[in-house]
A and B are shown apart, each in its own frame.
Chain A
Amino acid sequence: MDTSPYEALAEAAADGVEFDGLVATREGGQLLVETPEETLTAPVETPRSALAEVGEYVENWFFWHQVAPQAESRWAFLRWLERAGGHAVPERYDALEDGLSRSWGQLRVTATLDDDQRRYDLRHEADADRAAADLQRSDDPRDARDITKLDADGEYRPLKTAPTLRSGWVFPDLDATDLVAAVDFFYPATIENWHREREGDLDISHWHETMARQTGIYGVVETWDRQEGHDHVEWVAEACCDDSQCLKRREWDYDAETPLETDGGSGVFPCREPCSIVVSAARQWTKQEGKQALTYEFELTPTEKEQLEAVVDAVAEGRIDDIRPADVRNEANQLRIRFLRAKLFDDDGNLGGVQTSDE
């Protein structure tokens, strides 16, 4: 930035400045500056030396008006990061010297001051206490796209807000513009939707209207909504929108008049409509839920029934890989389940030898 903060303030003071405790006006060739602590006068042409006492206020005003992205949402996000609302400038500048941190999903952002400029350290929250030198360094926000693509096991992450962001990387020295760009690559549109929610104008598209909008191969989901009740949507929310699956906080319900009982999660940023993964899964469920229930008869010991329940639970909770190969006390242990299959399934894979007989 070519203009110094002091000259910029002197210029802006012609229209009056009032920001974060700093008041600046002009009278004749003089710049009048007030802060809660000081009242100073400086020549408009060379204001710097006379304003040294209130330097932090001037730098602060300059950053928020001439350096930080001016789009309301991003500006509000950067203010939130350093808790600008609740802390006066000197106090905040002291805290920034040590670094002020916030979590955003699995991200941890630390704002600091370097030579009076705000810099941002962005990393996985699990790496909060690690030295930056031990982490893989990036300086280009676009690198975030590669970091988000695969989880620690190399599995593809189509849902950016899945709680599976891998750790081990750091953007140690971003400016404000690059920080918000990186956050947008990690968690697209979360800043904008969070801001809309804070302003009270988050546009929520509930389940029913979102499904009614679908066409093509997804148009079939509408037929799932013809019956009374909305239990099916409770199940969808329980399956897909839990904190264990997605870090967004679900704000959509069945429709504007019909809230869901399932917990929406505790994320810092809101989910304003069923996402494409929910829509795709709903298409699958619409097809399978269209089938009539049948009565099957086969015998299980109580332990075998519990084993089947344990397998379902282990898959649903993503715990299969945690079950040790020889831990035969675990009901979902692979050897025990192989035994169950050997005993209870016929050669065609039918449980209890009973045919599925699709209607």
Chain B
Amino acid sequence: MPALVIAAHGSHLNPDSSTPTFEHADTIRETGAFDAVREAFWKEEPHFREVLRTLDSDEVFVVPLFVSEGYFTEEVIPRELRLEEWGPELWDSDGTSATHATCTASDTGQTVHYCGPVGTHRAMSDVIVRRAESVTDDPDVGAGFGLAVVGHGTERNENSAKAIEYHADRIRERDRFDEVRALFMDEDPEVDDVTDFFESDDIVVVPLFIADGYHTQEDIPEDMGLTEDYRTGWETPAEVDGKRIWYSGAVGTEPLLADVILERAADAGADVEDALEMVRKRTGGAALIEQ
């Protein structure tokens, strides 16, 4: 039976960075769909460099728990896994359309199905909507609400913004929320001015980040004016410029993300139909079946 590696960034400083990775891994472990499920990290252990040798399977699915196609997913992870045949052209992607590429790891001889990041999978749109439902505690949230999908953004890599815009566009097309916008920390349009971009009085803000940490728990809440000092916390919703901001925290902590990881593996050929059903039941992912 093949194994699954969930490849995440991890942190030298933040003990909670790895928490969503472990939680999603546990959800998938419990389905028994893989011989082994192992978390691997850039900043923690097991490192990308050594994770494959801890797995017995000849065939391994690797799903990057990253938001966009870019430096980590196209360069760092394949290099550290020693996928020597790898080149980003194998994904043949427009920046958000990578599915997978199959390579051999020179370290172990294992066949590695290297998947696109979770952040650009179409099912991630549903996780964002789910996040909006949970933060407002309203399964039908939409009418009268604006939705801001927030990304890091970086001038150095256009794919970083593409992933955010991709989901904002998809959710907008569903006509569920009155308005949907893609906003960024490090490029225009900036999340600092969130209220300028919406007519609606209620705005749900969902950051497309994998883990809660400095950006989602300190930077963004302060930049949006939810609080003067992140240490004192903020209200949900918080009143800013006469509008109510419903700030959800990192989308990656949503249990439904386990489903997206499995979808990535399924797109790469993993036999996970039963597991998908189990995980959907557990995480309430029935909405995904409409895909």
A interface residues with partner B (beta carbon < 8 Å): 71, 142, 145, 149-150, 156, 158-161, 184, 188-189, 191-193, 196, 203, 213, 215-216, 273, 275-277, 280
Contacts and interface: CB of A to CB of B under 8 A. Distances in A.
Given A158-B44, A280-B12, 13 more contacts: A71-B56, A158-B11, A158-B13, A160-B45, A184-B46, A189-B46, A191-B54, A193-B53, A216-B71, A275-B45, A276-B12, A276-B44, A277-B12
9 contacts: A142-B22, A158-B10, A188-B54, A189-B53, A189-B54, A193-B53, A216-B76, A277-B12, A280-B43
Interface in B1-37: 10-15, 22, 26
B79 A213 contact: yes
A275 B42 CA distance: 10
A284 to B, nearest CB: 12
B33 to A, nearest CB: 17
Interface in B42-94: 42-47, 49-51, 53-54, 56, 71, 75-76, 79
Nearest to B25: A142
Contacts of B26: 142
B107 interface: yes
Q: Pick the 3 closest A-B CB pairs, nearest first.
A: A188-B46, A189-B50, A156-B15
A246 B276 CA distance: 40
A190 B43 CA distance: 17
Contact of A273 (B10, B49, B76): B49
Contact of B13 (A156, A191, A213, A215): A156
A196 B45 CA distance: 18
Given A189-B46, A189-B51, A276-B42, A215 B22 contact: no
Interface residues of B, number: 25
Contacts of A156: 13-15
B37 to A, nearest CB: 11
Given A145-B22, A188-B54, A203-B107, A275 B12 contact: no
A158 B42 CA distance: 11
Contacts of A213: 79
A181 to B, nearest CB: 9
Contact of B45 (A150, A189, A273): A189
Contact of A215 (B11, B54, B76, B107): B76
Contacts of A215: 71, 75-76, 79
B50 to A, nearest CB: 4
Contacts of B15: 149-150, 156
Contacts of A145: 22
Nearest to B72: A216
Query: Which among A149, A184, A192, A273 has the highest number of chain B CB atoms within 10 Å?
Result: A192
Contact of B54 (A149, A158, A192, A273): A192
B44 A184 contact: no
A293 to B, nearest CB: 29
Interface in B171-210: none
A275 B41 CA distance: 12
A215 to B, nearest CB: 6
Contacts of B12: 158, 276-277, 280
Contacts of B75: 215-216
B177 to A, nearest CB: 36
Nearest to B49: A273
A193 B52 CA distance: 12
Interface string B141-155: 000000000000000
B25 to A, nearest CB: 9
Given A142-B26, A158-B11, A275 B47 contact: yes
A203 B76 CA distance: 20
B109 to A, nearest CB: 13
Nearest to A181: B36
B75 to A, nearest CB: 6
B13 A193 contact: no
Contacts of B71: 215-216
